[in-house]
Amino acid sequence: MTTELLFRDHPYQQDCDSVVLGHTPEGGIIVDRSVFYATGGGQPGDSGVISWQGGRLSIATAVKVEGGFVALVPAEPLPLPPKGTRLAQRLDWARRFRHMRMHTALHLLSVVVPLPVTGGQIGADRGRLDFDMPDPPQDVAALTAALNALAERDLPVTDEWITDAELLANPGLVKTMSVMPPMGQGRVRLVRIGAGDDQVDLQPCGGTHVARTGEIGQVEITKIEKKGRQNRRVVIALVD
């Protein structure tokens, strides 16, 4: 048995019922199913609230636990619901949806800046990708315009699964230089933006995304800074 990852298969789901399977030594609540995204891939874990008969806790984040489980991490060190307790989970949806918009925007950034990615981070207001970019771009305004034009095409965002072997046979799918997608479970999730002749991106990703790029809204490249000899960090922000 492992935690059912509702956030992965149903990213727009905002609440669910679940059962407490146990607790981590650090005070996390291990659950049988989770709408809370578990920290990973540069995307923060979700926050929100859980409630049960006679109790309620604010959740600061969610984390992965050995064995394929997810633990919800309380915001305060308060008494935890015992094993076997039925919980109601509810996301801070406004924050999650901004993460979804930003994560999808960063995928598009990797399209308009077609260079190897050396790192990344997602936030509710700002996000960034680090690129193997020896020379700075000449026209940042043109990059911003290209990024927004791509989003405004309202392309569908879908996912599919391939085997570990298929990924190893197609190394060009991996844009990150330093981190390989998690393998060892037999399959890897791919996120596709566009379809057919309109496909613009396909890469391994375990994060949450909007269903269409039009939901991203307007974004702005706010900073490009040098990080090391060849790396440059491109920071983007959601305008609204």
Dump pLDDT digits (tens) for 77-125: 999 999 999 999 999 999 999 999 999 999 999 999 999 999 999 999 9
- Listing from the earlier edge strand, what are the strands of the sheet with 219-227? 117-122, 126-132, 231-238, 219-227
- Mark which of 91, 120, 153 sits at the end of a domain: 91
> Both 102 and 218 in a single domain?
yes
- Say if residue 132 is in the same domain as residue 52: no
Instruction: Write down the mean pLDDT value for the chain.
Output: 93
Predicted confidence band of residue 175 (pLDDT cuts 50, 70, 90): confident
Question: 146 and 165 share a domain?
Answer: yes
Does 221 lie in the same domain as 107?
yes
Q: How many structural domains does the chain have?
A: 2
Residue 144's pLDDT is what? 97
Q: Determine the pLDDT at residue 179.
A: 60
pLDDT tens digits, 49-82? 999 999 999 999 999 999 999 999 999 999 999 9
* Res 180: pLDDT: 61
Same domain? 73 vs 110: no
The answer to whether residue 182 scores a pLDDT higher than 80 is no
**Both tokens of residue 218?**
């307007």
Residue 33 pLDDT exceeds 90? yes
Quick check: 177 pLDDT over 70? no
- CATH code for the domain in which residue 199 is found: 3.30.980.10
Crossing angle of helices 93-112/140-152, nearest 10°? 120
Closest CA to 200 of 133, 144, 149, 162: 149
Residue 63 sits in a domain of what CATH number?
2.40.30.130
Task: Check residues 227 and 5 and name the one with the higher pLDDT.
Answer: 5
User: Could you say which of 42, 76, 91 is where a domain stops?
Assistant: 91
> Is 178 a residue whose pLDDT tops 80?
no
Taking only the tens place, the pLDDT of each residue in 204-223 is 999 999 999 999 999 999 99
pLDDT of residue 91: 98
Domain range for 106: 96-238
Residues 137, 179, single domain; the answer is yes
Predicted confidence at residue 122, as pLDDT, reads 97
Q: Each residue of 160-194: b (16+ CB within 10 Å) or e?
A: eeeeeeebeeeeebbbbeeeebeeeeeebbbbbbb
- Summarised one tens digit per residue, pLDDT across range 3-22 is 999 999 999 999 999 999 99
Claim to verify: residue 214 and residue 134 sit in the same structural domain: yes
pLDDT at residue number 183: 57
Domain boundary among 28, 62, 91: 91
